[in-house]
Amino acid sequence: MKLSRRHFIASAALGAAAAAAGAQQRPARRRLGQRIKLGVSTYSYWHFRGKPVPIETVIDKAAELGIEGVDILHQQMAIPEKAPLTSEHRAYLQKLKRRAFINGIDVICLSIHQDFVDPDPEYRKAQIAHTKKCIEIAYELGAPCIRLNSGRWNTIKSFDDLMAARGKEPILPGHTEEEGFQWCIDSIEKCLPKAKECGVILALENHWGLTRSPEGLLRILDALPSPWLGALMDTGNFLENPYEKLRKVAPRAVFVQAKTYYGGGEWYTLDLDYNRIADILFDVGYHGYVSLEMEGKEDPDTAVPKSIAMLRRAFSPWRRAGRNRRA
């Protein structure tokens, strides 16, 4: 059939309008289909007691569970924590990277330990150097972020005693909380150029010490606005009123660690509602990883699969879609 010029223009206009309408609808469908991926921390299989479970073993178990990522605890690796990187250490990192790749597993985070809350500038300098080394380790592994601590006053030496005190400890005599925050902020600022160079995000955890409260965590993040610094939201580190506090942290989260306590926790047990936590993250548009930290005393070979099944239900895109429809 022969079309007139008028009909051709009208048809073209309708087609363009339909295409524009489709383009407007597609992002909504993508948002609906986005899902949060699950990982597992190697810490789930080793709680600093006895011989460390090899990272390779956890990678294999993650593949068997059908999850996407492994979050590696630095202290659990088969290389010295504090020593400089050698060619042998780098070869070990590449073996882990290869092991993860051939199993279809992403290395999603390197969880490290360092402490910037100390009056000794030489000590802080050493902690900065250690953090920069860990950024290099993450880069070698292909991990896009490292777990960062603020540090604490260490006026309670034993971690068991600190947990018995619900994470609260006195400020170091002769010093102020203001000093502690400044030491921490200055130290993290010195690590940011290395993070940018390697493309590794510093994920500051709501842990003990200065970041025990959401206000402390956000104070540090607000002082250092950078795309290479964000929050690591740990679901088990706010011992009182956790949901209210997690809601404050969630908008800044670049990574999430989700604790479970099957068999009772090593230091404490929280009864966390993961549907509620998932809704907090859905509400702020979080689309990153959720990494399981099973901190219970039950055998991880039974507790980790149960934990993953529970997290899959809570973070299911179908549960999210149903919630959106009800809203």
pLDDT in tens, 7-30: 433 444 434 433 333 333 223 333
Question: Where does the pLDDT of residue 191 fall: very low under 50, low under 70, confident under 90, or very high at 90 and above?
Answer: very high
Q: Does the predicted TM-score (pTM) go above 0.95?
A: no
What domains are defined for the chain?
37-326 (3.20.20.150)
pLDDT digits (tens, 9 = 90+) for 69-118: 999 999 999 999 999 999 999 999 999 999 999 999 999 999 999 999 99
The percentage of the chain sitting over the pLDDT mark of 70, rounded to a whole number, equals 87
The pLDDT assigned to 34 comes to: 65
Cα distance between the two ends of the chain:
49
Burial 302-314, CB ≥16 within 10 A → b, else e: ebbeebbebbbeb
Burial-class residue 58 by CB neighbours within 10 Å (0-12, 13-18, 19+). buried
Long-range Cβ pairs for the range 95-102 (8 Å, 24+):
95/56, 96/55, 96/56, 96/59, 96/72, 96/141, 97/140, 97/141, 97/142, 99/56, 99/59, 99/60, 100/59, 100/70
